[in-house]
Structure 1
Amino acid sequence: MLGTPLHNALRQNLSTDGRAPEWPKVVISNLQIPADQMTLTRSLTLKASDCIRFDAVLWHDAKRPERFSNLSLCAPELPKQSNNFVLTWKRFSISGKTSGQVRSDGPIPPYSKLPSDPAMERWLMNQFGLYYVGSLLTLVGYDPNFTVDDRRFWIRNIKG
C-alpha cells in the first residue's frame, strides 16, 4: 500500500475553509484479517508476518475511480502511534448524502464507516483492529484532529 497513490491520498486535497473536501475518497473492500487476530487469547505483540490483505478504490472524483487489488499492510509498516482516535472516529455516522445501509465501492459513502459485522467488532475490541484501522486511516492521510472529515474513508466489507 505504501508504494501506491493511496498513500497520503487524502492529503492531496486539504480543507481550506474548515469544511471537509468531498474528494478524494478511499474505500477498503474484501478485508482479510488473520484468524489469530480474531481472538483475545493471543498476545498483542505484533509479528512481522502479521498482515491484513484487501482491495481498495481511490476515487479522484465522482467519475474517476482507480482500483487496487491484493494489497497488504503488515506489522512493520504500521506507524508507531496511538490509534485510540479510531474509537471516536467509528462512533459517528457519515454526514450528508449516503447510500444508507447499502455498502458499495462508492463514490457515495454508506451511513456507517465500518461494516456492522460481529467479526469487525471482535477485531476492534481485541485491539488488533484499532492498530490496523488507525494505521490505514493514517497512511491514507486522514487527520484525526480534523474530525469533520468523515466522508472520505470507509471499509466496505470483511471477506468471509
Structure 2
Amino acid sequence: MKRPISIYLGVLLILLRTVTTIVTAVSIAVDWKKVDISLDVGTGADAEALSSALLIALMILFGIAVVIDLAVARFIFRGSNRARFVALVLATILVLGSAADFFVDGTSFTLENGGLLGLSLDILVLVALTDSDARDFTTRNSNGRRDARRSRRLLRRAGRHPGIPARTTEAKASE
C-alpha cells in the first residue's frame, strides 16, 4: 500500500515538535542563571550544586524526549502501528497536560512562551495520525510483518527455509 499523506504529515509534525523541544531545552539552558530556585538548602554553594543538578536532570529529560520522538517518527514512517499508538498517547498526554495547566494555573498560551506552538503541533499530530488512511497503512504493514515472521518461523520448523537446508527423513532417523 502506498504511504498516505497523513503519515507524511504526522511524521513532519512530530519532527517539528522535536525541534521545538530542542529549542525549549536550549532556551532553558541559556537562561538558567536567571531562574530563582528558592529552597532552604543552606549555603549558597549547596543551592548552586542543587541548581546544577536540576539543570542536568532537565537536559537529560529533554534528551530522552528528543530520542523518543525521533524513534517514534522513524517507526511511524516505516509503518509501525505500535509507534503510531505511542505517538497518539504521548500527544494526548501533552494536550491534557496543557489543559490541566491552563485550568489550574490559568497559564496563557502565547507564541512567546512556546505553549501555543507546542499545543497546536500536538493537536495536529492527533488529527494526522487518527486519519483512517494512516490507521489502515500502519495496521496493514504491521499485519504484513507479523505474517511474514510467522511464515518464516513455520518454514524453519519444516526445514524449508531458503537459508536452512532441508533435512531428509534418513538424516532425522539417524539422529
Please state which band the TM-score falls in when normalised by the shorter chain.
under 0.3
Greater strand fraction, Structure 1 or Structure 2 = 1
TM-score by length of 1: 0.25
Greater helix fraction, Structure 1 or Structure 2 = 2
> Bigger radius of gyration, 1 or 2?
2
